[in-house]
Chains A and B, each alone.
Chain A
Amino acid sequence: MDQERAWILRALQGDQAAFGQLVRAYERPVYNLAHRMLGNAEEAEDAAQETFLRAYTRLATYQPERKFVNWLLSIASHYCIDRLRRNARTPQLSLDDALPPQWLTSDGERPEQVVDRKQEQEMVRKVLATLPPDYRTAVVLRYWYDMSYEEIATTTGSTESAIKSRLHRARQMMAGQLQVA
């Protein structure tokens, strides 16, 4: 934590190497959020990069009492929601859609395990893709980051009751998809 604070302070003084350390420390959670939100590797890479660029330019607005990773996830989720709305598309995927390249290879797994894992990942991607952006954000922050209602509300700039409602509606929609399939 002290190390993180030191990197932030140095980055605030324009030290891009220190900011690079922050990128390395948090690239995985930020990328994962973008990937789950946008549904493909290429857009996720771009969105994750953009998140860090925005974080660098807005670093002076970061409040130290907040978790730095949550602040980054907040920037990432807003960016992804904007992007989904701007593109006016919510990926509706068919079973014929190709899997992202990183799911096609794996070390030390039997072929049937690889197939099972790929099918499961594909199913995750499909059910997430059926959700409106706001619902998707709540689900991703709840399941992959284990955030409480309060943390999700702070990250997304919403209220706890709205998050509770979004999670409920999202689960209903996803369960409905599963029952249909």
Chain B
Amino acid sequence: MGEKVRCEAREQMSVSMSLVLDGQLNRDRQSGLEQHVATCPDCQAAWNAMQQVSTMLAKSPMVGPSFGFSLRVERRLAERTTQRRQLFRGMALLTSSLSLAGVGAALILVIGLGLAAWLWFGSQPAWQQAGGSVPQVASGLGLMGKGASLFLKDLLERYGLPVMLLLGTGLAVTGGLWAWFFSRKPDRSHRNGYA
């Protein structure tokens, strides 16, 4: 008694209704829909509700942000830029320090091993120095260590303290330049009063 009968074609009609609202249904199919809706209370109710929703949404105005939105974005942008810059600087400092330390350690290792090999290899009898890969490597390292130590010794003997001071100063200046490069303020694009 008074129960609503669900139209079997409702799903198909519903697709057409949506297309009509978007202006995507051709005239023939649109008139077919209109005829069906005129005789089907179930689809009539669905069509009315869909139109009502569509009208309500179409009438609803665009809402905007509160005053000063762009300034708030610019402030966040500046903060984020600073954070990224600091992160980049930290990473650059870390990687550069690690690579410098790595190079230094490798040099010390080569010189140390070379000197050790030179001392050890020099003390072996001649018959043990011939043939085999280990003695060959030890010999090579020994030569490198010997070369490095002779070079340093020669420098000290020939030029003495001044050359060591010069080397020290050169290293300090290089380090200073390197530190300045990574800690300086970038750059032309941020000098516009917004950063």
Contacts and interface: CB of A to CB of B under 8 A. Distances in A.
Nearest to A174: B53
Contacts of A178: 49, 52-53
Nearest to A124: B60
B69 A143 contact: no
Interface in B40-73: 45-46, 49-50, 52-54, 56-60, 62-66, 69-70, 72-73
Given A124-B56, A175-B49, A32 B64 contact: yes
Q: Could you tell me the dominant secondary structure of chain B's interface residues?
A: helix
Given A14-B187, A17-B193, A48-B69, A171 B64 contact: no
Contacts of B56: 120, 123-124, 127
B189 A15 contact: yes
B65 A45 contact: yes
A81 interface: no
Contacts of A179: 45-46, 49
A99 to B, nearest CB: 12
B64 A16 contact: no
B63 A167 contact: no
A168 interface: yes
Contact of A19 (B15, B58, B59, B77): B77
A172 to B, nearest CB: 6
A154 to B, nearest CB: 16
A28 B52 CA distance: 26
A7 interface: no
Contacts of B57: 124, 139, 143
16 contacts: A15-B192, A16-B77, A19-B77, A31-B63, A35-B63, A49-B73, A52-B77, A53-B76, A144-B60, A149-B24, A168-B19, A171-B17, A171-B21, A175-B46, A178-B49, A179-B46
Given A17-B193, A28-B65, 13 more contacts: A16-B77, A19-B74, A23-B69, A28-B62, A29-B62, A45-B65, A49-B69, A52-B77, A120-B60, A149-B24, A168-B14, A178-B53, A179-B46
Interface of B: 14-15, 17-19, 21-22, 24, 45-46, 49-50, 52-54, 56-60, 62-66, 69-70, 72-74, 76-78, 80-81, 187-190, 192-195
